[in-house]
Structures are given as structure tokens and as C-alpha cells.
Amino acid sequence: MRTGLGAAALAAVTVLGVTVLPNGSAVAHDTGLRGAARGTGTRIGTAVDMNALANDPAYKAAVAREFDTVTPENVMKWSEVEPTQGTYNWGPADDLIKFARSNGQKVRGHTLVWHSQLPSWINETDFTKAQLRDLLRRHIFAEAGHFKGKIWAWDVVNEPLNEDGTLRDTIWLRALGPGYIADAFRWAHQADPSAILFINDYNAEWLSPKTDAYYKLVKDLRRQHVPVQGFGMQGHLGIQYGLPGDVLENVKRFDALGVKTAFTEVDVRMILPSDQYRTQAQAEGFGLMLRACLLVKNCISYTVWGFTDKYNWVPGVFSGEGEATPMDDQMQPKPAYDTLRETFLLAR
């Protein structure tokens, strides 16, 4: 088990469950997940729906109370920040950073390089391979540069591997070749040297050909002095497939490489309707990933991909499935929430 507070926490004063930040704002959070996680060395975070943050006061209050890191669910993706070539829309992401600062939270940037949610003007018919390379470089420098010094950690390259461990066939692989991953990390580090740089993927939590390939890739890149500083395991599970039993072993081997690790997009979905057995299995899914994180030295954060069933992506993608978060659609704690809180408290 690990203990220790981040440097930012040392600049704040906590009295009777209320933290008074250097800017004078106050945040009450000792009764939530945020308070439970304090002293464990692992930050608790959530993805944030910016429409809900702007329009739902209960949601806004819960984000401030329960979490000490926030990840933009969509507003830092390329399609959102540059919908028209050369015209940038930083406003929603800037708003999230302002909210985080006012509540003493750190921001995970998501994501700089992905094959999905690209702006419609990017395609392989209108640009040469050399032009696509330049566009990607310009994008990374523009976005990481705009947020320089404001982002705690970046998901630099997202989902670059197939399940068998081969490189995913994407616009970036076709245009730039396998070296695009190393290039992206070098560019991101040049643009913002202070951010922790992650490679990030789903089905990356347990031992498999995919995670074997990630282990080799991260090891090889670091041998070449590429600034890959973190390995992100998204943590999207479905209880109908069973829960993986070798998560801790997988996290340990990346920890031994000397990189930071993080669970970056955790949710545990189920086939509906739910019942007490499914909700308990869900709680165990959340808990086993958190325990694995807490039992190694370098796992720095555990982020749920949305904390309430009221705002969640799963039903829109997986027909007949849902209720994948630690709180119900009334923002009341479920067994998964209790498991997270109790696990953090035991690790203090």
C-alpha cells in the first residue's frame, strides 16, 4: 500500500472536511471518493460531460466533490477543437480547465492522436502522406501548446494496436508508417515538457497478446529514448464476459518498466435489467482494477468514464446494456461506489 500527497495538495489547507485553496475557493470533499483516496498515492478521476457540467447543478457539484482529476469526454478530441481546418474551438476545453483549477483538480488531456473522431476535412484523398504527417505534427503542437502547463497527463496515442498485438490499420499508420507513435510522443513532449505522456487502449488490463505487444512496444520505445511515460488501461469491462483474473500481474510488469500506469476509462456494463447479483459483480469489477492499481508503486490515477448512469455512453453503443457507472441515474451510490470508497480507505 502507498501513502503520500501530491505537491498541489500541500498548498491547500483542509479544516473540517473543507479544503481552502490558494485562490480562496473552498471545496468540501472529505465524505466522497476524493476524500477517501487522499493519502493513497492514487488520484480518483472522472470523464466529464460538458453539457451536463453546464446545465445540471447536481452533476457539477458531484464532479467537484467526488474527484480530484477530470478528463474531457469529448471536447479535446480533434474533431471538436479544429472542426474547420485552421479554425480552433478551444472554449469548452478551456472551461473545463477553469472549473478544475477552481476546485483544485488536475486535468487529463484526451486525446492527441486517434484514428476516430477526426474532423471531416482530414482524409487520405485530399492530402499526400507528407501533408498528413505535417497536419498531425501541427495538430499536436497546436493543442498541446495551447494547454501547455495546464494538463497533468496526456493520452498521446490512443488505441493503436489490434487484439492480436499488431498495429491497427489507421490513416496514421498508412501515412506515416509505424514510426508515427514515436513521432507523436516526441512532438507532444516538445510542445509540453511538463505533462506525463501516456499510450492508452482498451482490453489492456489483463495478460494477452495485445498487452504482450504493448509491453514490448513501450520497452522498445523507451530504449530509443522516446518519452513514453505512462501506460493507460481503459478498463471497459462487461460482467457477462467474466472478470479477468490477472490484472495485477499485468500492471506489475508495466510498473517494473518504470512507467506510470493508470486506469483511464473505467466502467463495468451489464445486460439489463440489473439485479442484485449483477450489481455486486459490477462492484467487484470496479474493485479488482482499483486494488491492482493500489498494489503497485507507479499507478497514479483511476478514472471512471462517467460516474452516473444519467449520462453514460454505453446504452447508445451496446444495445440492451448499461448501468455501467458507480452511481445510478439519480446520482445515488451503487455497490460499486461503496466498493471504491472502502478500497481507498483500506489503502490509506
- State the catalytic residue, choosing from 265, 284, 323, 342: 265
Peptide bond into 343 cis (omega under 30): no
Told to judge if 159 belongs to the known catalytic residues of this protein, a careful annotator would answer yes
Is 287:244 a contact under the CB 8 Å cutoff?
A: no
Contact of 246 with 206, CB cutoff 8 Å: yes
Q: Is 225 exposed, middle or buried (0-12, 13-18, 19+ CB in 10 A)?
A: exposed
| Residue at 67: amino acid letter | F
DSSP letter assigned to residue 308: B
The catalytic position among 66, 143, 159, 323 is 159
First and final C-alpha spacing in the chain: 7
Nearest to 174 by CA among 139, 124, 111: 124
Active site residue 284: no
- How far CA 296 is from CA of 124, 290, 346, in Å, comes to 43, 11, 15
What are the residues whose beta carbons fall under 8 Å from the beta carbon of 241, sequence distance 6 or more?
none
Catalytic residues: 159, 265
